[in-house]
Amino acid sequence: MDSYLRLGVNIDHVATIRNARGGDHPDPVRAAKMAEQAGADGITAHLREDRRHISDADIERLIDGINVPLNLEMAATDEMLEIALRHKPHAACIVPEKREEQTTEGGLDVVGGAHHLKTYIDKLSAEGIRVSLFIEPDVAQLDAAAGLGAPVVELHVGSYCDSRQVARSRELQRIEKAVVHAHSLGLECHAGHGLTYDTVGPVAAMPTIAELNIGHFLIGEAIFTGLENAMMRMRSVMNKARARETA
């Protein structure tokens, strides 16, 4: 198995800062191009129903402006489906979305929402868009994702990142179990949400995880060290953890 671990950079929060003043600075597309220059394997952007950060115009400009794959995070709604089918990003990560949440709070309920999700997975896949489902590290959710024919799952690792000590090692075990199960089902496994220099190592060390999507922490660190330095340090922690595991 290819042990290269891709780093996808989520540029949503560059748009959050831009939108705080309603103008066009800082530009998330410029940040995406910088991330690409600094070695990002992909760019992730979440077009939310309320357009609180990324806008429709940003998606259009990202499609034209970057040379690495775009992963469009989207809710399973007809509006987002139409946008995805129009722009045909490399990948679409289907996420749950609640209007009042600060960020994506949990994974999709693929078990309960299978019927609804199937239409979206099928329509996106028919246009060659690689679909991933953002789910909790849970065996039943993985089984349901595989049953729907989704090629990729992204595991929500926020509970691991937000917990401490014993609870954190319990969460890590849950992720490990899910990653092994995803592999046994033939699912490509990604992970994301809340990853930092401190939390990324143990996740990066899991050899069948193919991609990590990281946003808030990298954009925050970029304020202090620049995006390139923040990405290089993140990449270095990821690579060291992966190399130790596969040595």
Distance in angstroms (rounded) separating the CA atoms of residues 162 and 181: 23
Interface segment toward ligand PXP; rule CB under 6 A; list 78-86, 108-116, 203-211, 215-223: 215-223
What is the nearest approach in angstroms of ligand PXP to the Cβ of residue 158? Answer: 7
11, 28, 41, 46: which one binds ligand PXP (CB under 6 A): 46
Examine the residue annotation and report whether 176 is marked as an active-site residue of this protein.
Answer: no
Interface segment toward ligand PXP; rule CB under 6 A; list 22-30, 166-174, 189-197, 221-229: 189-197
Give whichever of 164 and 247 is closer to ligand PXP, judged by the CB atom: 164
Examine the residue annotation and report whether 73 is marked as an active-site residue of this protein.
Answer: yes
The reply on whether position 130 binds ligand PXP by CB under 6 A is: no
What's the number of CA atoms in the CB half-sphere (13 Å) around residue 227? 22
Question: For the chain, what percentages of helix, strand and coil (3-state, to nearest 5) are there?
Answer: 50, 15, 35
The reply on whether position 53 binds ligand PXP by CB under 6 A is: no
What are residue 155's DSSP bridge partners? Answer: 135, 191
Per DSSP, the residues of 109-177 read -TTTTHHHHHHHHHHHHHTTPEEEEEE-S-HHHHHHHHHTT-SEEEEE-HHHHH--HHHHHHHHHHHHH
The reply on whether position 160 binds ligand PXP by CB under 6 A is: no
Distance in angstroms (rounded) separating the CA atoms of residues 181 and 220: 33
33, 193, 235, 242: which one binds ligand PXP (CB under 6 A): 193
Give whichever of 33 and 156 is closer to ligand PXP, judged by the CB atom: 156
Examine the residue annotation and report whether 46 is marked as an active-site residue of this protein.
Answer: yes
Distance in angstroms (rounded) separating the CA atoms of residues 7 and 83: 25
Q: Which residues are catalytic?
A: 46, 73, 193
Note the residues at the interface with ligand PXP (CB under 6 A).
Answer: 10, 12, 46, 73, 93, 95, 103-104, 134, 154, 192-195, 213-217
